[in-house]
Amino acid sequence: MATRKQTPTNETDERITLNPAILAGKPTIRGLRISVEQILRALGNGVSVKAILDDFPVLDREDIEACLRYAADLVEDERVFAVTRHEDFR
């Protein structure tokens, strides 16, 4: 599993926050009660950036872009390994 840096070093880290007191520690946008997951799911379901910004006027386009960068960062180092079945373990 990928780990995030503890100190902000870029715009994504400054916009995406992790706080155990907010949404049980899920990544949120700028400490608001709007999760990165919520935004990514909306985008994945075909909701336009404009519609998201209309629904959440406190957000701006850079927040949405930060969510996408955050997701890309999480899968960047993800690897899939083939698992073979060994006859002795049946």
| Residue 61 φ/ψ, nearest 5 degrees | -55, -35
The fold for domain 11-89 equals Arc Repressor Mutant, subunit A (1.10.10)
Q: What is the pTM of this model?
A: 0.76
What is the Cα–Cα distance from 46 to 40, expressed in whole angstroms?
A: 10
Q: How far is CA 11 from CA 17, 26, 59, 62, 68, in A?
A: 11, 18, 15, 9, 12
Domain residue extents for the chain: 11-89
Q: Are 2 and 73 in contact (CB under 8 A)?
A: yes
Tens-digit pLDDT profile for the chain (90 aa)?
334 443 444 556 789 999 999 999 999 999 999 999 999 999 999 999 999 999 999 999 999 999 999 999 999 988 888 888 776 665
